[in-house]
Structure 1
Amino acid sequence: MSSRTVDDSFCRMLQGYSLTSAEVLYRMPDHPTLLQTFLWQFEDLAPDYPRLKRFLDHWEREIEAIIHSVRVMHQGLITPKEIRIVKSGGHLH
Structure 2
Amino acid sequence: MAMNLSALSTEYIRVTATTRAAGSVITPAAPPRFAFLATASSPGEEDWLLGEWADRWARILIGPDGGATTLEPGEYQVWLSWSAGAETPVYRCPGSLRVY
**Normalising to structure 2: TM-score of the pair?**
0.30
Structure (1 or 2) with the greater helix fraction: 1
Higher-Rg structure is: 1
